[in-house]
A and B are shown apart, each in its own frame.
Chain A
Amino acid sequence: MRPLGGRSATPRERLVVVGHGMAATRFVEQLVAGGYPGHVTVIGEEPVPAYNRILLSAVLEGTHDASAIRLRSPEWYAEHGVELRLGTRVLTVDREHGDVMLVDGTCVPFDRLVLATGAIPTLPPIRGLVRPDGSLHPRVHAFRSLADCERLLAVLPVDAARAVVIGGGLLGLQVARALSVRGVATEVVEGGDTVLSRQVTPAAGTILARSLTQLGTTVYTGARATKLIDHPEEGGPIGVQLDNGFVLDADLIVLTAGGRPSVALARGAGLQVRRGIVVDEHLASPTDPRIHAIGDCAQHAGQVTGFVPPAWEQAVVLAQRLCGADLDYRGSRNVARLRATDLEVAVLGDPVAEPGEIVEVSNPVAGKHSRLVVRDGVIVAAALVGDLSRVGLITQAYDRGTVLGVREPGDLLLPETAAPLAPLPDDAEVCACAGVTAGAVRACGSLAEAQERTRATTGCGGCTQVCSRLVGEVPVREPREPREPREVVSPVRS
């Protein structure tokens, strides 16, 4: 592959990407694929090359090998002429001079700047969480980076028998399930009335919390942690004081209580910032069209998403624009999936707030709850809890805006019923290879005679059992029993 940049007479555009997460990596890949002619510099705060952040909970759970989440190697960037600066941070953006200053004082000039700074975890207001020197309490873990994940893995499982996860959102439930699969007794504390309250309705959240409890993870909803209580003995558990008076003992605490867009750089540079860095349909700042923002830090049409699919769509649109294509970003359809063993949740769009007609099937006894929000025959949002048998189909219909029939949304939520077995009529073809009807086989005295006279069963052999029964013989081989569900070999490594 050729390095980026041609031999054009005009000076090459200097493009600086601040951030090296999922959005930035996708963006640079698309620049490379599109043959972007400028010089690209990527500045990443973490010291490691790009990795798939959303698989961190799978690494924690042990279903994913940590070595399997790297997205691109430093060699890949070098091969494609992209300058990669890792383990450093941008302090300021100087729009007047057109450069960014790094923590070590060096300045990197840009003609175009892409901010992909992501989100930073919010610290819940819990007393004792942060120590006087500003560091986290040693038993408290954030869960955002590979380093966080490795630090958490390092204390498992010998040092941690009990854990409390603060936050009952998607990440919180994934982490809780992961710890539980690792053999850690885990409890979840969620301030809202139900888990996943931003994604699913209370009814679905309640069902999900019960499934979680059945899997061995207790969920405390409507409860806030207010204070950490250190154990008098060194090495003993610490207490998590809840606002309802309970104290949960724990060896470690994981914070998953959400994040907020990282906007400090943009704000410092005087760019328009609301909750995120405001961008238009070209993913450019209305303050300065040379500066773009994509991913969790960006706010488009009033929306900050916090999910990978929209971040990637933004990355693709912006990269293609910079490679010369004329296209706009018009928002994304998002599908959020919970990644945790034995916990099945898919959330399409915003099934809580999206207006439309509701088609719902709920079976709390079986731990299942499905909700489709339908407008003009189109699925505009959905939540599937505990039953993902039709998730592929429903997602396809949602993504493509397929106009469904009147009964279809309901039928999609109900299991397919198999037609009852009826005796084969004489004119039914039983052997497609030789074109033989059931009647022709019945007229024979034995399977051997049927084979001789009609050639039934002599082609692919698939009709042997049916033909045996038709002539009144016991089939040579019984149809195989449906197999036991394959026991999932737990890849957890000790």
Chain B
Amino acid sequence: MTLANTGAGRRTLEVQPWAEFPVNQGALCRKGWTSGGLTGHRERLTTPLLRDRATGEFRSVGWDDALDVVAGTLAAIREEHGADALAVFGGGGLTNEKSYQLGKFARVALGTSQIDYNGRWCMSSAASAANRAFGVDRGLPFPLADVEQAEVVVLVGSNLAETMPPAARHLDRCRENGGEVVVIDPRRTSTADRADLVVQPVPGTDLALALGVLHLVISGGHVDESYVAERTSGWEAVRDHVAAWWPERVERVTGISVPELHALADLMTSHRRVMVLTARGAEQHAQGSDTVLAWINVCLALGLPGREHAGWGCLTGQGNGQGGREHGQKSDQLPGYRMIDDPAARQHVAGVWGVEADSLPGKGRSAYELLEALGTPEGPKALLVHGSNIVVSAPNATHVAERLEALDLLVVCDLVLSETAAMADVVLPVTQWAEETGTMTNLEGRVILRRQARRAPSGVRSDLDVIAGLAERLGSPVPFSTDPETIFAELGRASSGGKADYAGITYERIETELGVFWPCPTPEHPGTPRLFADAFATSDGRARFLDVEHRGPAEPCDGEFPVHLTTGRVLAQYQSGAQTRRIRELPDGGAFIEMHPLLAARIGVADGMRVTISTRRGELTAPARVATTIRPDTVFVPFHWLGVNRLTHDALDPASRMPEFKVCAARVEAA
């Protein structure tokens, strides 16, 4: 979309579709149409807030005072407890420039290893799986529009039509072209309404389903043997293992009947251009990365990755979910998707930053582990939060709120007084998307540019200014720029030679080429819309089959908590709702508890009646939404509202450190 100046005298901006842009071709959902709605919003923060220790109330202060207080406290804590007592929590909504600058700020100005971001709770399982299987993590290894040319598109745990509605048009076009769409989800969502085959497994069993599909791929003789021999390694162990996942066993675990499983496998084995796209439903589990690997195994056995209009991809969840994880916000990574424990990577990045490689800290804690450590004797004492509303979006949120309260200093940068900002010692008002320039990298690995469209309200600064101001006060060995284009050029140099190589990308190229796909190592390089045609990004160029086993949910249902709870989004809201809940045109009905009529009858409630849902961690009361579209043994609650994540489980994936957002054991009763 674009913003057009339509006001006669005053500068008023209106959202307009941008039909030339190839990803959505101008289509928008109501969140896009109303995204200008926070302009001049009365809840918009326009001055730094400092909590008065005596009264506990916020008072407005000037920027210099606020930054002095923050820097002074950070320095004192660092003096007493060491640099790792300072922590940074970023977000997948920040621009590449901010993500990059935040990672550099943590390592250089603060000197801490303790930085991670909310993307850990979003795409990390897919990222971990893709890195292990293909040697690189780019959400989609092909442009989104390739979906239209696929013969079969399998969506595993994606509600595309509600979470990224314009993208659903590609599905429709795929079907117009004769393609078939499969949706795998415990709920028959509006995405499932446009599917040819809907498969509704028990939450937390997508992995077993994939093992079952692979079993049928093998038993039916559909393995692409030459592809497996020439382009992969590790096949034998996987092949032998899935012999133990015959259809009837899969049926018992997943709740998917044998004929349904056959229908799914038949569809996938009888076409050449097959695409498997995973999303949060498959990934937000304590076995999320293994689940993704299991589906990648299916794709590799069928010889799909690298084939035109086929293969595996991940549907990114946040605006800059992809770019946000490439430039150093992650506890174990440096810019360019380099690993922080790789000596060559440290040398290169330190060189660009103008510091000694030895001065860079090592690996820090992952997002949830970082939050859990806050205020503990070994853990950080101060936390800076950029672009995240932790107390709404973290799992087991009651516990997380307690950890935030145990901090000596909590600083939150936000547009509005979010639930997390309301707990802070210092709140810094920052720019909204239209008020700043910066790049983002979308789900296709396409780097796009968002130009500033209007001036920020007075009193509001960019996160880049906050970072530079703090760095200076903390005596950073190197200065921090506040100009996005300068930072982007530095990011390009830092990423040069890395997996996500931006070295050849400039603002100018992005604008003329409607985005540039990484890797793009030189100004002459055309960018890389499609990966894997000839080789994978592993050391030997082969993709890896990894033998994964179904472990099931961390918290199985039992007599006390007999139903599965799963969470997700609704169309009109986004993430923690800090912005969308404040936009008048977006309906905000609050949380609801979706359940099947069979379950509603069991507990004696009807549509709209109040229901209390409880787990071992907390409870929530909300109206029932009775629908035949959900599995009768499962309830769904959207996560945009405070309280929902007090219910969710904090078991972590061993590889990706993703919490188990998508399944836990719950009990429902009439309130």
A92 at the interface (CB under 8 A from B): no
CA of A477 to CA of B169, assembled, Å? 14
B236 at the interface (CB under 8 A from A): yes
B240: chain A residues within 8 A (beta carbon):
70-73, 76
Can you identify 5 A-B contacts, CB atoms within 8 angstroms? A55-B246, A391-B251, A400-B557, A461-B27, A462-B193
Of all A-B residue pairs in the complex, the 9 with the closest CB atoms, nearest first, are A392-B255, A405-B602, A460-B165, A460-B168, A337-B248, A68-B219, A433-B29, A64-B219, A459-B165
In the complex the two chains form, is B255's CB within 8 Å of A393's CB?
A: yes
If A52-B243, A489-B266 touch, does A458 touch B631 (CB 8 Å cutoff)? Answer: no
B221: chain A residues within 8 A (beta carbon):
65, 68, 491
A7 at the interface (CB under 8 A from B): no
B466: chain A residues within 8 A (beta carbon):
none
Q: How far is the CB of B183 from the nearest CB of chain A, in Å?
A: 13
In the complex the two chains form, is B601's CB within 8 Å of A73's CB?
A: no
Q: How far is the CB of B290 from the nearest CB of chain A, in Å?
A: 14
A213 at the interface (CB under 8 A from B): no
B267: chain A residues within 8 A (beta carbon):
486
In the complex the two chains form, is A462's CB within 8 Å of B175's CB?
A: no
In the complex the two chains form, is A461's CB within 8 Å of B243's CB?
A: no
In the complex the two chains form, is B602's CB within 8 Å of A404's CB?
A: yes
A146 at the interface (CB under 8 A from B): no
In the complex the two chains form, is B562's CB within 8 Å of A403's CB?
A: yes
CA of A157 to CA of B512, assembled, Å? 67
In the complex the two chains form, is A392's CB within 8 Å of B251's CB?
A: yes
In the complex the two chains form, is A488's CB within 8 Å of B220's CB?
A: no
Selecting from A222-230, A231-239, A406-414, the interface stretch reads: A406-414
Q: How far is the CB of B539 from the nearest CB of chain A, in Å?
A: 20
B343 at the interface (CB under 8 A from A): no
If A54-B246, A403-B559 touch, does A462 touch B161 (CB 8 Å cutoff)? Answer: yes
If A63-B219, A462-B161, A483-B196 touch, does A402 touch B562 (CB 8 Å cutoff)? Answer: yes
In the complex the two chains form, is B33's CB within 8 Å of A405's CB?
A: no
CA of A433 to CA of B243, assembled, Å? 44
Residues 206-257 of A at the B interface (beta carbon under 8 Å): none
Q: How far is the CB of A161 from the nearest CB of chain B, in Å?
A: 27
CA of A494 to CA of B30, assembled, Å? 58
In the complex the two chains form, is A432's CB within 8 Å of B571's CB?
A: yes
B586: chain A residues within 8 A (beta carbon):
435
B172 at the interface (CB under 8 A from A): yes
In the complex the two chains form, is A408's CB within 8 Å of B251's CB?
A: no
Residues 554-569 of B at the A interface (beta carbon under 8 Å): 556-559, 562
CA of A73 to CA of B239, assembled, Å? 10
In the complex the two chains form, is A402's CB within 8 Å of B219's CB?
A: no
- Partner among A399, A401, A412, A432 whose Cβ is within 8 Å of the Cβ of B252: A399
A396 at the interface (CB under 8 A from B): yes
In the complex the two chains form, is A435's CB within 8 Å of B246's CB?
A: no
A279: chain B residues within 8 A (beta carbon):
none
4 additional A-B pairs beyond A55-B243, A70-B243, A75-B236, beta carbons within 8 Å, are A388-B259, A432-B30, A435-B586, A462-B190
Q: Is the interface of A mostly helix, strand, loop or mixed?
A: loop
CA of A396 to CA of B571, assembled, Å? 31
In the complex the two chains form, is B562's CB within 8 Å of A400's CB?
A: yes
A335 at the interface (CB under 8 A from B): yes
CA of A51 to CA of B248, assembled, Å? 16
Q: How far is the CB of B199 from the nearest CB of chain A, in Å?
A: 10
If A392-B257, A403-B559 touch, does A434 touch B29 (CB 8 Å cutoff)? Answer: yes
Q: Of residues B30, B243, B247, B558, which shows the largest number of chain A Cβ atoms within 10 Å of its Cβ?
A: B243
CA of A337 to CA of B251, assembled, Å? 10
A391: chain B residues within 8 A (beta carbon):
251, 257
Residues 146-195 of B at the A interface (beta carbon under 8 Å): 161-162, 165-169, 172, 175-176, 190, 193-194
Q: How far is the CB of B216 from the nearest CB of chain A, in Å?
A: 9
B359 at the interface (CB under 8 A from A): no
In the complex the two chains form, is A68's CB within 8 Å of B218's CB?
A: yes
B258 at the interface (CB under 8 A from A): yes
CA of A408 to CA of B30, assembled, Å? 39
In the complex the two chains form, is B571's CB within 8 Å of A433's CB?
A: yes
Residues 427-472 of A at the B interface (beta carbon under 8 Å): 432-435, 455, 458-462
In the complex the two chains form, is B259's CB within 8 Å of A416's CB?
A: no
A339 at the interface (CB under 8 A from B): yes
A58 at the interface (CB under 8 A from B): yes
Contact with B along A381-393 (1 / 0, CB 8 A): 0000000110111
Contact with A along B218-259 (1 / 0, CB 8 A): 111100000000000000110110011011100110111111
B628 at the interface (CB under 8 A from A): yes
CA of A435 to CA of B267, assembled, Å? 35
- Partner among B17, B220, B252, B559 whose Cβ is within 8 Å of the Cβ of A395: B252
B422 at the interface (CB under 8 A from A): no
A411: chain B residues within 8 A (beta carbon):
598, 601
CA of A161 to CA of B247, assembled, Å? 30
CA of A400 to CA of B190, assembled, Å? 30
Contact with B along A333-344 (1 / 0, CB 8 A): 001010100000
If A52-B243, A401-B559, A412-B598 touch, does A488 touch B633 (CB 8 Å cutoff)? Answer: no
B28 at the interface (CB under 8 A from A): yes
A480 at the interface (CB under 8 A from B): yes
CA of A399 to CA of B558, assembled, Å? 10
A388: chain B residues within 8 A (beta carbon):
257-259
B587 at the interface (CB under 8 A from A): yes
CA of A386 to CA of B29, assembled, Å? 45
B587: chain A residues within 8 A (beta carbon):
435
In the complex the two chains form, is B257's CB within 8 Å of A335's CB?
A: no
If A405-B598, A488-B262 touch, does A458 touch B243 (CB 8 Å cutoff)? Answer: no
Residues 470-494 of A at the B interface (beta carbon under 8 Å): 477, 480, 483, 486, 488-489, 491
B270 at the interface (CB under 8 A from A): yes
In the complex the two chains form, is A396's CB within 8 Å of B30's CB?
A: no
B529 at the interface (CB under 8 A from A): no
In the complex the two chains form, is B28's CB within 8 Å of A458's CB?
A: yes
- Partner among A65, A403, A433 whose Cβ is within 8 Å of the Cβ of B219: A65
Contact with A along B349-374 (1 / 0, CB 8 A): 00000000000000000000000000
In the complex the two chains form, is B172's CB within 8 Å of A461's CB?
A: yes
Q: Of residues A412, A434, A483, which shows the largest number of chain B Cβ atoms within 10 Å of its Cβ?
A: A434
CA of A396 to CA of B204, assembled, Å? 13
In the complex the two chains form, is B633's CB within 8 Å of A337's CB?
A: no
A269: chain B residues within 8 A (beta carbon):
none
B562: chain A residues within 8 A (beta carbon):
400, 402-403
Q: How far is the CB of B543 from the nearest CB of chain A, in Å?
A: 21
B202 at the interface (CB under 8 A from A): yes
- Partner among A52, A396, A432, A486 whose Cβ is within 8 Å of the Cβ of B246: A52
B263 at the interface (CB under 8 A from A): yes
CA of A391 to CA of B255, assembled, Å? 7
Residues 255-290 of B at the A interface (beta carbon under 8 Å): 255-259, 262-263, 266-267, 270
Q: How far is the CB of A75 from the nearest CB of chain B, in Å?
A: 8
Q: Closest residue of chain A to B266, judged by CB?
A: A486
B595 at the interface (CB under 8 A from A): no
- Partner among B243, B557, B598 whose Cβ is within 8 Å of the Cβ of A51: B243
Contact with A along B427-451 (1 / 0, CB 8 A): 0000000000000000000000000
CA of A10 to CA of B376, assembled, Å? 40
CA of A404 to CA of B559, assembled, Å? 11
If A52-B244, A388-B258 touch, does A433 touch B165 (CB 8 Å cutoff)? Answer: yes
In the complex the two chains form, is B28's CB within 8 Å of A459's CB?
A: yes
In the complex the two chains form, is A460's CB within 8 Å of B254's CB?
A: no
A396: chain B residues within 8 A (beta carbon):
202, 255, 633
A86 at the interface (CB under 8 A from B): no
Q: How far is the CB of A438 from the nearest CB of chain B, in Å?
A: 16
CA of A71 to CA of B558, assembled, Å? 31
B572: chain A residues within 8 A (beta carbon):
432, 435
CA of A35 to CA of B278, assembled, Å? 33
B632 at the interface (CB under 8 A from A): yes
A65: chain B residues within 8 A (beta carbon):
218-221
If A408-B601, A432-B571, A461-B169 touch, does A480 touch B255 (CB 8 Å cutoff)? Answer: no
